[in-house]
Amino acid sequence: MKQGRDITRTREMEKKYKEFKLQSASYNREKFIFDLKNEEVLVKYKYWVIIPNSFPYDGVLQVHHMLVPKRFFSTSREMNEEERNELEQIKEGMDERYDGIFENFTHTRSVLAHYHLHLMLLRHYEN
**Domain total for the chain?**
1
Q: Where are the beta strands (DSSP E) in 70-108?
A: 100-102
Determine how β-strand 48-52 pairs with β-strand 61-69: antiparallel
Q: With pLDDT > 70 as the criterion, what percentage of the chain qualifies?
A: 89
Closest CA to 6 of 14, 19, 107: 14
Cβ within 8 Å of residue 67, ≥6 positions away: 48, 49, 50, 87, 90, 101, 116, 117, 118, 119
Q: Is 62 within the bounds of a domain?
A: yes
Q: What is the pLDDT of residue 90?
A: 96
Instruction: Give 88-111 pLDDT, tens digit per residue.
Output: 999 998 988 999 999 988 877 878
Q: Is 35 within the bounds of a domain?
A: yes
Q: Is 127 within the bounds of a domain?
A: no
Q: Is 102 within the bounds of a domain?
A: yes
Q: What is the pLDDT of residue 44?
A: 97
Say how far apart CA 107 and CA 30 lie, in whole Å: 11
Say how far apart CA 76 and CA 16 lie, in whole Å: 29
Q: Is 54 within the bounds of a domain?
A: yes
Instruction: Give 13-45 pLDDT, tens digit per residue.
Output: 999 988 888 877 666 767 777 889 999 999 999
Task: Give the residue numbers spanning the domain of 20.
Answer: 11-122
